[in-house]
Amino acid sequence: MKFFTNCLLFTCIIFYTNKLQAAVNTTDLSSLIPAVMASKAQNALLTDIIDNGQYKVAVGKRGIILHSKDGIQWQQSNVPVQILLTAVFFIDQNNGWAVGHDATILNSKDGGISWHIQNYQPELDKPFLDISFTDALNGVAIGAYGLFYSTTDGGENWSSQFLSSLLFAEDADYLAELKSEDPEGYELETQSILPHFNQIHFSKNKIIMVGEQGFIATSSDDGKTWNRLQEFYLGSFFDIEILNDGTWLIAGLRGNAFISKNKGQNWTKLQTNTQATINHILKTPTGAILSANSGVLLTYNSGKISKEQQSDGKSNLATVISNNKLIFASEVGIKSQELN
């Protein structure tokens, strides 16, 4: 989840159960208004971008999804909702998912040209902020106040979970007491007691989740159990990446970025020389490129950060590389520049 859009994301909290949710919530879908096919969609706020090997696909404001083969000419996709989309993920050239406000999960089976609804729950007033899959069947969508949905059938059905193992000990004790004395109060507390889950990262043998207030958690059993790491920084994290040399790189608010050489046991702060919030980490063969607010672009190599200031000063929320160019999803839509 990117900080630039944080102020747009949510003001309400909700309760969700551990029970299986229907493939599409019982909300009347006939009232949905599809995304408007806009002539200047390429210039709208875009929050995420991915290269699925067939198309570059970007998502953003008012249900806008764009796709492009070359990263130059962009077409708007057919999308059944007009909500802010926050993240997009493809497991292969054809099968992808996008998430956003109103607990919306969209699915595409044609590389991002067309989309259909898998989950839509506007009554929750709660956004999904990221989504990822390990294969075409098994995936996770995460979001505000501990929102955590999983699927084992490609999203035909999603189940919601309250990850009580990620509670602080005092919060777990408080909830246990409250559950026996005031069940309704317990339900209300579970709506907001967990932090926002901003981003989830799958590696070969570990899942890492990061979020607000320094939240980092890991799972070594495909998300069945979780271990919350000790906080070493109390601001929000918006992305984490495992680099080619095994280094963990994490970044977030006010230009804060840290690396770990021992899988999250110890962290070293990087000197980024910026107060701009870092929204996205793009792994490169030799390090990473970090996209930030206010047109700040950071490059990480060999333990050091170099800084570039883009002249337009506009926030970049995610980045891909195509034909030796950086292509950005930004607050002013698609941007690009030559890769140095």
pLDDT at residue 287 tops 80: yes
CATH classification of the domain holding 102: 2.120.10.30
What confidence tier does 54 reach under pLDDT thresholds 50, 70, 90?
A: very high
The C-alpha atoms of residue 137 and residue 123 are separated, in whole angstroms, by 27
Give the pLDDT score at 330: 98
Q: Which of 137, 161, 185 is the last residue of a domain?
A: 161
Give the pLDDT score at 10: 39
CATH classification of the domain holding 208: 2.120.10.80
Q: State pLDDT tens for residues 132-151.
A: 999 999 999 999 999 999 99
Give the pLDDT score at 4: 53
pLDDT at residue 28 tops 90: no
203 and 306 both lie in a single domain: yes
Give the pLDDT score at 191: 83
Q: State pLDDT tens for residues 171-227.
A: 999 999 998 899 889 888 888 899 999 999 999 889 999 999 999 999 999 888 999
201 and 186 both lie in a single domain: no
45 and 56 both lie in a single domain: yes
pLDDT at residue 36 tops 70: yes
**What mean pLDDT is predicted for residues 26-33?**
75
339 and 304 both lie in a single domain: yes
89 and 228 both lie in a single domain: no
Give the pLDDT score at 2: 59
Domain with 150, as residue range(s), is: 1-161
CB 45 within 8 A of CB 8: no
80 and 13 both lie in a single domain: yes
Give the pLDDT score at 75: 98
What confidence tier does 23 reach under pLDDT thresholds 50, 70, 90?
A: very low
111 and 226 both lie in a single domain: no
178 and 220 both lie in a single domain: no
**What mean pLDDT is predicted for residues 313-333?**
97
pLDDT at residue 24 tops 70: no
140 and 188 both lie in a single domain: no
**What mean pLDDT is predicted for residues 78-87?**
97
318 and 185 both lie in a single domain: no
Q: What domain count does the chain have?
A: 3
pLDDT at residue 21 tops 80: no
Please, what is the average pLDDT of the chain?
Answer: 91
315 and 219 both lie in a single domain: yes
Q: Which of 110, 136, 161 is the last residue of a domain?
A: 161
10 and 99 both lie in a single domain: yes
The C-alpha atoms of residue 148 and residue 21 are separated, in whole angstroms, by 12
**Model-wide pTM > 0.85:** yes
